[in-house]
Amino acid sequence: MHFPEFFDAAPRITVRDPLARFLGAAEDGVIDYTYGDAVRLAGHSCPTVAGAYLMTRAALRALYPEALPERGGIRVELRDEQLAGVTGVVANVASLVTGATHDTGFKGIGGHFDRRGLLFFGAGIPGQIRFTRVDTGASVTVFARLDRVPSDPRIVSLLPRCLGGSATADEAALFRSLWQDRVRTLLVEHAEDPETIVVQR
């Protein structure tokens, strides 16, 4: 699999997973997640996937300023209902990194490491997602202002031609390049931009 080169320039998210440590899956339970991991999960790269990845990263950095985030110890609540728009995609990316699931996750071992009951939809929150530390109750709400990274206007005409099969090979290549360039701009140039990835305590 050959991802675009800019995937390597996207920030990584490092967490500590007590379950991975307990079972010897990762040394000291430390796991690195990359944007490529989110793409493997979603099956595609788009601003929504990138935004979800960056929102999760920003929230965890705010909640754990002095330590690695604890995977499996974070409650995730999404404002929108499960089947609304791209909510499922955003939830899947957040779940990948945090381990939080609704009712389909790991049931635990001897009362430990249960990952269920940590993911919720339709929450009455002001932002797009709220992340809460289970151990301290500290929480932050985040949302992505993807409009601050607009798409190239040529995409509007290229998209239907690519979907309809009437685009030339050059047009299809241009569409893919323009589409991923917006993702690159978001991940590489706006990952630290508080006006794009907004965190509210």
Q: For the chain, list the domains and their CATH numbers.
A: 9-146+192-200 (3.30.1330.20)
Contact predicate 18/160, CB 8 Å: no
Instruction: Report the pLDDT value the prediction gives residue 201, as an integer from 0 to 100.
Output: 87
The string of pLDDT tens digits covering residues 24-33 is 999 999 999 9
The string of pLDDT tens digits covering residues 59-69 is 999 999 999 99
Percentage of the residues of the chain whose pLDDT score is greater than 70: 100
Q: Is the pLDDT of residue 169 over 90?
A: yes
| Helix or strand run (H / E) with residue 95 | helix 87-98
The string of pLDDT tens digits covering residues 70-105 is 999 999 999 999 999 999 999 999 999 999 999 889
| Residue 57, token pair as written in the block | 């990263």
Per-residue b or e along 18-54, where b marks 16 or more CB atoms closer than 10 Å to that residue's CB: ebbeeeeeeeebebebbbbbbbebbeebbbbbbbbbb
User: In the structure, what pLDDT confidence band is assigned to residue 108 with cuts at 50, 70 and 90?
Assistant: very high
Q: Is the pLDDT of residue 1 over 90?
A: no
| Residue 161, token pair as written in the block | 């031609």
Mean pLDDT of 154-169: 97
Mean pLDDT of 111-121: 96
- The pTM is what? 0.96
> Cα(20)–Cα(30) distance, rounded to whole angstroms?
8
Positions of E strands within 54-163 = 74-78, 119-120, 129-133, 139-144
